[in-house]
A = this chain, B = another copy of it.
């Protein structure tokens, strides 16, 4: 094993639950867990400056190797002194390998044991990425935590396809480990296996045996019902080493974070809070509300009177509604600040609850009060997924 300044300390597992509090030590600072990472795929948290991200209380951000490789190019960022300096963020960074993004390209990519060939979604140019190159790129970018290249199957792929992708993910994880040269970055593996419990277990066991610095759970929340996401998370977590951080990729709604933490997850990332903010959907303790709704056009209170974010401290819901009506860019920004602060406050409350041995009560209270506005969408999605598997409810 490489001698590495990164480490994870498990502080406490909440009695009667899998929920845990800990801390990540990284070369750019300490990260209390559970933690949510806002997504800055292109090297920027959409609409926000690094100072604002810090003011919100967020301590670690995610950027994407695939996006930065295509634009501005890894060599440019290296020449500018690395990703931290380039984006003006001196806190910890995690770079995703881009596996998920490349596999989302569907017809634009071809996968072989060597690696994945794809056409850029920007200019159609052809590229080959291998596990070795992905590590080389992430070492050049210089993030604190880097991710192995994985193959991410679709949520409705057959057992055979998912098994092939899993086996390849395992081979690539080993190659990534061998390719690693820098001793100051933590390399995490990504568990795959789709929605097949036996494959999830096989993947978790195999990767756990390789002693990575941390373990991500990939390939979930891609269209399968929420119950399946949770079941797969539970199966996987049970087989991951207790003393290593567990990272549930692409999950970021308040209710999913709470459920994920109950399963023993330490890290989350998702573009959801920032993406839906730009569509006007705002988190509150009572659930998601859409500021575009005309009900807000004359509301003098902030959108969430319980919130301490800059937006809620400064502006009425009516003003925010007005900015969205006019498509003023400031509106997208104010909504982004609110949603990220909501998530960050939620993480703090959860961590306190875990440390006080009261997570289970916190979870029940939170979920009882919180309503998502897309229950119908969820039910439709579930029926569609069950049909794709020739199952019925």
Contacts and interface: CB of A to CB of B under 8 A. Distances in A.
A316 B86 contact: yes
B298 A76 contact: yes
Contact of A86 (B319, B330, B333): B319
Interface stretch (A38-46, A226-234, A347-355): A38-46
A87 interface: yes
Interface in A294-347: 297-298, 300, 310, 314-316, 318-319, 321-323, 325-326, 328-334
Interface string A22-56: 00000000000000000000111111111000000
Given A314-B88, A315-B88, A329-B329, A323 B76 contact: no
Interface in A92-117: none
A179 interface: no
Interface in A269-302: 297-298, 300
A318 B86 contact: yes
Contact of A80 (B47, B76, B318): B318
A72 interface: yes
Given A329-B333, A333-B329, A319 B80 contact: yes
A329 B88 contact: no
A329 B46 contact: yes
A79 interface: yes
Contacts of A181: none
A178 interface: no
Given A314-B88, A319-B86, A322-B43, A76 B329 contact: no
Given A80-B300, A328-B42, A329-B329, A318 B48 contact: no
Nearest to A47: B329
Q: How many copies does the complex hold?
A: 2
Contacts of A49: 310, 314, 330, 333-334
A67 B328 CA distance: 13
Contact of A48 (B50, B319, B330): B330
A127 interface: no
Given A79-B298, A88-B314, A46 B319 contact: no
Contacts of A297: 72, 76
A315 B84 CA distance: 11
A267 to B, nearest CB: 24
A208 B330 CA distance: 40
Contacts of A329: 46-47, 329, 332-333
Contact of A325 (B72, B300, B321): B72
Interface of A: 42-50, 67, 71-72, 76, 79-81, 86-88, 297-298, 300, 310, 314-316, 318-319, 321-323, 325-326, 328-334
Given A44-B326, A79-B298, A80-B319, 18 more contacts: A43-B319, A44-B323, A44-B328, A46-B328, A48-B330, A49-B330, A49-B334, A67-B326, A72-B321, A72-B325, A80-B298, A80-B318, A86-B318, A86-B319, A86-B322, A88-B314, A88-B315, A329-B332
6 contacts: A43-B319, A44-B331, A47-B330, A67-B326, A76-B297, A88-B319
